[in-house]
Chains A and B, each alone.
Chain A
Amino acid sequence: EIVLTQSPDFQSVTPKEKVTITCRASQSIGSTLHWYQQKPDQSPKLLIRYASQSISGVPSRFSGSGSGTDFTLTINSLEAEDAATYYCHQSSGLPPYSFGQGTKLEIK
């Protein structure tokens, strides 16, 4: 089973700051890595698909990069509404699939 490890687990940031969250896979997964945002008491929402593909309706300040085992979610010019927990997810090959442990973002 492929294990995804995110860092950091928690980050407290100020508005307009640039945020970087990383996700490392235990083996190469190509570009089959996706990012989700989950706000309190809400369902997860797909933010970035296949490492770097943007999703219609998602603000352009969210971007993704990486391939193989190392991936990054970047949020440029953070806004208060971005307070949430962010998860990476891999869909390499056949299931079972897995999620990272999550990164909680707090806005100061």
Chain B
Amino acid sequence: QVQLVESGGGVVQPGGSLRLSCAASGFTFSSYGMHWVRQAPGKGLEWVAYVRNDGTKKYYADYVKGRFTISRDNSKNTLYLLMNSLRTEDTAMYYCAKDDCSGGNCHPGDWGQGTLVTVSS
């Protein structure tokens, strides 16, 4: 069965950096694109970033573009999110999610349990 385990969250000061990881198992990681989605406390879901299965194409939401970098290591079955220049409004639970696709169009299918990032001085 698909398992996605996020880690790397914590408390960081504004302007700081953090790297999140998502360890994948139970499927052929290198065959699927992966998403990061976040949820601020008490708020709704926000799509953050996407990387294709081979890592060649990456896409970002405007509110993180230029500050966050999504990447993956298919040899380690791991997805990453490097977050720089963090702001208080980046405080959220960060989820990784595996692609669910049909006819070349994809969306988040299976989700991890999330890792909490708190940006505060």
Question: Which residues of A are in contact with B by a Cβ distance under 8 Å?
Answer: 1, 32, 34, 36, 38, 43-46, 49-50, 53, 85, 87, 89, 91, 94-102
Interface residue SS majority, chain B: strand
Closest to A6 in B: B44
Kindly state whether residue B29 has any CB partner on chain A within 8 Å.
no
Residues of A within 8 A of B50 (CB): 95, 97
B94 to A: closest C-beta gap in Å: 11
Closest to B59 in A: A95
Contact A32 B105 (CB under 8 A): yes
Q: When chains A and B are docked, how far (Å) is the Cα of A107 from the Cα of B54?
A: 44
Number of cross-chain contacts by CB at 8 Å: 62
B107 is contacted by which of A1, A34, A43, A101 (Cβ under 8 Å)? A34
Q: When chains A and B are docked, how far (Å) is the Cα of A94 from the Cα of B50?
A: 10
Q: Which of B88-121 contact A (CB under 8 A)?
A: 95, 100, 102, 105-114
Contact B47 A99 (CB under 8 A): yes
Closest to A85 in B: B44
Contacts A44-B95, A46-B100, A49-B102 given; does A98 touch B111 at CB 8 Å: no
Q: When chains A and B are docked, how far (Å) is the Cα of A30 from the Cα of B44?
A: 24
Kindly state whether residue B61 has any CB partner on chain A within 8 Å.
yes
Contact A45 B111 (CB under 8 A): yes
A98 to B: closest C-beta gap in Å: 6
